[in-house]
Chains A and B, each alone.
Chain A
Amino acid sequence: METFVQQLINGLTLGSIYALVALGYTMVYGILGLINFAHGEVVMIGALVALAVYKALAATLLPPLLILLIGLAVAAAVCMALGWAIERIAYRPLRNAPRLAPLITAIGVSIVLQQFAMLFWGRSYHSVPALLPDTSYDVLGARISAVQIVIMLAAAASMAALIILVQRSKLGRAMRATAEKPEVAALMGVDANRIVALTFIVGSALAALAGVLVSANYGIAHYQMGFLLGLKAFTAAVLGGIGNIGGAVLGGVLLGIIEAMGAGYIGDLTGGVLGSHYQDIFSFMVLITVLVFRPSGLMGEKVSERA
């Protein structure tokens, strides 16, 4: 029972981070039908920029929480600018190109960002100072730390804000219209280029938040940290039904829980034959099984076949 609750808590923490990153993938996909492979690197840049701010402010006697918020704000600003630039340089010129061309530029951007980060911050793992109180609480025999609570709350709050933005605001309506049919949206007076740029900016801000949270969770930042995280988040977005915002949240949380449970139980389930290093297989197996029975993800709409 304790293992179960503990893994559930760990899974929810991990899942909220996946969900934040998955939202970035799914929003871009919903509007452009493009896998933004560079999104994971934006998360990484967010984490490393925030870390640089922490280090710069460490000497001042500001309260840790304020330092964290300043770091987050700077990281968000940098990532938003980065997201905008990526769209402008790598994707917009290829709007009418064959479908796989932007995929290749995305890979190019991803490599370039990683190498820039390496030149800037080096190859080593950086330890991230603990800026949140180091307390933890007992829940049904399991431990939940303050960091984990903050991660879940911050993720939940920003997702709620995003959903309100998309469902209620004028910008959100324009986004949904562009996703539905760009030509018609343009006829209704929506400036598609502006909407796409804003989508990238919003997605990148969420990525910066995810970067700050994930580095706070593990206490480590590294120039390659974005790759696997991006991959998992993309998996989560597809699991939930890519292009669907609720689906990305559901997929992210589910994937986090599946992974944590897999890591916790796979050894017992298989009598010790498979160890916890098989946890990644677990999540991909679930993904493949889900897609076999629901080819467009858990919450994805059934794609109507071309007439």
Chain B
Amino acid sequence: MMQDQKKKVLGIALIGVALAVLPFVIGMGFGNAWIRMLDFALLYIMLALGLNIVVGFAGLLDLGYIAFYAVGAYIYALLASPHFGLHWPLWAILPVGALIAGIFGVLLGTPTLKLRGDYLAIVTLGFGEIIRIFLNNLNAPVNITNGPKGIAGIDPLAKNIEIFGYPLHSLYLIYYLFVALALLIVFVTMRLENSRLGRAWVAIREDEIAAKACGINTRNVKLLAFAMGASFGGVAGGLFAGFQQFVSPESFGLFESIMVLCMVVLGGMGNIPGVILGAVVLTVLPELFRQWAGPMQMAVFGQTYIDPESMRLLLFGIALILVMRFRPMGLLPSSRRKAEFEHAEEGAQA
């Protein structure tokens, strides 16, 4: 017992040290572009963990999840940019963003309570599109979102600083901010998973009627799933806006929703380490493809036949097909899903 405890503490300490030095190792080895990507991976981890609550825990297929990210991003953009002349501090905006995104989550959840499966999927998809179209067009009659041009000049999350005369790029500070918030979200979702509420979500996922019969208030529990998933998305969105210092409706299309869903499913739905892995793999892999696709063709054929950008998407599509083909339950499935899957396999063979 003591041994286990000690091992656990040691493990956490090791992960902590690794996370702390990671940006320096990557920054030395590959340059700032890769730290930027690391920051993006952390953003996607937060997003994917939020969606995981809705899709992975509660089993509600949401194809418009990016809408909440958009809401968070625009809240940040409106409250901290010259657009309205407001410059709120980060720590004041994030809770507001989370709250408003959560309200949007309930707004989406309420009319869809009765819907199941794919009907829910298409309504959430429509909801995401509605939000995007409004962002695109709310520049008239009153200019709120600045339309397709987007909002620029957003206050940055951090500035370049000097520590003991040693210059530190803002990307490092942003990295630590993102790591801290991502760890907070990981912690919250881990606690949720084993809570009364988390078990209620799983019960609804497995069988809604049985869950109801067991005394679970399915309406409230489902709405809570939407609201919590949405508020995580809202936080990630706010960070995204401050990180990019620019938002436009283009960043919040259906393809982004699908990307986040792919992270959740590919990594292993409902399993927190799996979802994190999925987010990291799907952020890093396409970037690697993009960087290598050009030079590799040069080396092999002496000229570039296929444009690296489309090569990236092509390989990405093929990777999605292959991973699902050989690991249909995801890269790191939760033990419960794995057991279910093996059970189903046996059933099919019998």
Q: A109 CA to B321 CA in the complex, in Å?
A: 7
Partner of B324, one of A29, A108, A277: A108
Q: A119-B306, A287-B126, A297-B119 are in contact. Are A275 and B137 (CB under 8 A)?
A: yes
Q: Is the interface of A mostly helix, strand, loop or mixed?
A: helix
Which B261-284 residues sit within 8 Å CB-CB of chain A? 261-262, 265-266, 269
Interface residues of B in 294-350 (CB under 8 A from A): 306, 310, 313-314, 316-321, 324-325, 328-329, 337, 340-341, 344-345, 348
Q: Which of B108-116, B169-177, B186-194 contacts A (4 or more CB under 8 A)?
A: B108-116
**A113, closest chain B residue (CB):** B317
Expressed in whole angstroms, the Cα–Cα distance for A119 and B307 within the complex equals 8
Q: A108-B320, A108-B321 are in contact. Are A295 and B115 (CB under 8 A)?
A: yes
Q: From A243, which residue of chain B is reached at the shortest CB distance?
A: B118
**Residue pair B111, A97 in contact (C-beta under 8 Å):** no
Q: Is the interface of B mostly helix, strand, loop or mixed?
A: helix
Residue A145, interface by CB 8 Å: no
CB of A100 within 8 A of CB of B317, answer no
Partner of A115, one of B118, B314, B328: B314
The total number of A-B Cβ pairs within 8 Å is: 130
B349 — nearest CB in chain A belongs to which residue?
A96
Contact with A along B121-151 (1 / 0, CB 8 A): 1110111011001101100110000000000
What residues on B are CB-neighbors of A116 within 8 Å? 314
Query: Using a CB-CB cutoff of 8 Å, which residues 213-255 of chain A contact chain B?
Result: 231, 234-235, 238, 242
A103 to B317: give the CA distance in the assembly, Å.
12
Interface residues of A (CB under 8 A from B): 29, 35, 89-90, 93-94, 96-98, 100-105, 107-112, 114-116, 118-119, 231, 234-235, 238, 242, 273-275, 277-278, 280-281, 284-285, 287-288, 291-292, 295-297, 303, 305-306
Can you give 6 A-B contacts (C-beta < 8 A)? A104-B262, A112-B318, A281-B133, A281-B134, A284-B130, A297-B119
13 new A-B pairs (CB below 8 Å) besides A96-B345, A108-B324, A111-B320? A94-B325, A97-B341, A101-B324, A104-B261, A116-B314, A235-B122, A238-B119, A277-B133, A280-B129, A281-B134, A291-B112, A295-B119, A303-B116
